[in-house]
């Protein structure tokens, strides 16, 4: 968290009436962020962190009336409008992230499985954008269910600065409106295609099957890149193909900016048994190297964001479910991940979080870096 973080989050509108504002809103927000950085996973532990680190916190926030109770913290975080939290998160991330030309921005959704209320309905589903090379979350937006990602993704794209980036999305996001929005934002796309676009998927699959088996030079500019990995008794051969031949595709005018189709074939050999998986794509790219990189880099959102949220921050075990609290707490967790990514030591995020719980100096370096 850089020095402008307090200034940015101070712009959030206080949801409380004037007479109920015993503690400043910015104090509650910064206390929560610092506590989550240091291992807190619920309201009681946030209050406990505040009590134990009161003198350290006073260096940064006023705390004129002491540390708020866990009930107060819970009520306030549950009432802050998530759109305002997201706006501050994105503004801060854009101020510190180094997004370069060709950056792969992977968009994917994740459900916080226990973020439902007593009726066990309404677990939140968040769609996030992950910058692969920068190693940072760029922003997130809530949807009611996974199926609603289709409407949420354009809203998230509208909030992001992605000019010159390559946006990757799984098959759920392979929609003409989403492709158009990416092109409108002056970015490229690599969109996975499955049976939700049945005719398109069949046409791409048939094309590559014929082109590869026939090795026909008349099939337009078929490019190929191979990569082999062998470790722990497992061999994986990845073959990436890209073609600018679009004549066999149905309704290509629907897809704004479409220039190529791609396929990634993964052949895995484990204990003598071979399996083959093929994934198909539509793209605005015309060169095999950036396509192969983008298709592989997409999985960074799972490995570097969703996995960390589950394993290090135990998001799936969290019982926070009142009001806007689950959504706001997800934003704070993702902010914590970004802060840890900016800290230059080579420790894992899990070890950084443990160290932040012990060392005021290390926590300060993580949160208030310059």
Average pLDDT over residues 56-77: 96
H/E segment holding residue 30: helix 25-37
Residue 113 in this model has a pLDDT that exceeds 70: no
How would residue 71 be classed by pLDDT, with cut points 50, 70 and 90?
very high
Residue 370 in this model has a pLDDT that exceeds 60: no
pLDDT at 143: 84
How would residue 200 be classed by pLDDT, with cut points 50, 70 and 90?
very high
Percentage helix, strand, coil, to 5, in the chain?
45, 20, 35
Let me know the angle formed at the C-alpha of 271 by 265 and 272, rounded to the nearest 5 degrees.
Answer: 70
CA dihedral of residues 305, 348, 315, 41 (deg, nearest 10): -140
**Hey, which of 26-40, 113-127, 311-325 has the most confident mean pLDDT?**
26-40
Quote the CA–CA distance of 136 and 132 in Å, as a whole number. 7
Residue 116 in this model has a pLDDT that exceeds 90: no
Average pLDDT over residues 170-188: 96
Looking at residue 3, the DSSP 8-state letter turns out to be T
Whether the Cβ atoms of residue 138 and residue 131 lie closer than 8 Å to each other: yes
pLDDT at 234: 82
Where would I find the beta strands (DSSP E) of the chain?
A: 104-111, 125-131, 136-143, 166-169, 188-193, 223-231, 234-243, 260-270, 273-283
| Six token digits for residue 272 | 């003598």
**Within 10 A of 366 (CB to CB), how many other CB atoms are there?**
23
CA–chain centroid gap for 76, Å, is 25
Let me know the angle formed at the C-alpha of 351 by 350 and 353, rounded to the nearest 5 degrees.
Answer: 65
Higher pLDDT, 142 or 113: 142
Quote the CA–CA distance of 335 and 138 in Å, as a whole number. 9
| Short-list 92, 74, 81, CA closest to 336 | 92
Please, what is the angle between helix 25-37 and helix 360-367, to 10°? Answer: 120
Average pLDDT over residues 224-237: 84
Residue 260 in this model has a pLDDT that exceeds 80: yes
Domains of the chain: 5-94+323-367 (no CATH), 193-287 (3.30.1300)
Q: Of 115-124, 141-150, 228-237, 319-328, where does mean pLDDT reach its minimum?
A: 115-124
Q: Of 11-25, 205-219, 222-236, 339-353, where does mean pLDDT reach its minimum?
A: 205-219
Quote the CA–CA distance of 209 and 192 in Å, as a whole number. 17
Average pLDDT over residues 344-359: 96
Average pLDDT over residues 23-30: 96
Q: pTM value?
A: 0.90
């Amino acid at each position: 968290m850089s020095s402008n973080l307090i200034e940015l989050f101070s712009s959030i509108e206080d949801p409380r009436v004037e007479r109920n504002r015993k503690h400043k809103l910015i104090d509650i927000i910064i206390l929560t962020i610092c506590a989550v950085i240091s291992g807190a996973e619920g309201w009681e532990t946030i209050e406990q962190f505040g009590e134990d680190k009161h003198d350290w916190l006073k260096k940064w926030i006023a705390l004129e009336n002491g540390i708020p109770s866990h009930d107060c913290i819970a009520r306030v975080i549950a009432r802050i409008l998530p759109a305002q939290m997201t706006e501050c998160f994105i503004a801060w991330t854009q101020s510190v992230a180094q997004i370069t030309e060709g950056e792969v921005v992977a968009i994917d959704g994740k459900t916080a499985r226990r973020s439902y209320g007593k009726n066990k309905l309404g677990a939140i589903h968040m769609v996030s954008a992950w910058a692969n090379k920068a190693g940072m979350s760029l922003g997130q937006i809530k949807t009611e269910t996974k199926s609603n990602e289709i409407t949420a993704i354009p809203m998230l794209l509208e909030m992001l600065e992605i000019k010159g980036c390559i946006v990757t999305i799984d098959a759920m996001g392979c929609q003409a409106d989403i492709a158009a929005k990416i092109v409108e934002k002056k970015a490229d796309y690599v969109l996975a295609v499955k049976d939700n676009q049945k005719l398109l998927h069949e046409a791409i699959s048939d094309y590559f099957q014929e082109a590869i088996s026939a090795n026909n030079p008349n099939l337009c500019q078929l490019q190929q890149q191979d990569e082999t990995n062998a470790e722990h008794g497992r061999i994986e051969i990845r073959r990436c193909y890209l073609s600018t031949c679009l004549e066999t595709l149905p309704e290509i005018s629907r897809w704004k900016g479409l220039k190529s189709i791609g396929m990634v074939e993964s052949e895995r050999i484990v204990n003598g048994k071979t399996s083959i998986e093929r994934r198909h794509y539509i793209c605005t790219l015309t060169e095999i190297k950036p396509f192969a990189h983008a298709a592989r880099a997409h999985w960074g959102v799972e490995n570097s964001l969703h996995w960390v949220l589950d394993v290090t921050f135990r998001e799936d075990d969290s019982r926070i479910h009142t009001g806007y609290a689950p959504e706001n707490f997800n934003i704070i967790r993702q902010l914590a991940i970004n802060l840890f990514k900016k800290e230059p030591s080579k420790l894992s995020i899990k070890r950084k979080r443990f160290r932040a719980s012990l060392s005021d100096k290390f926590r300060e370096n993580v949160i208030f870096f310059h």
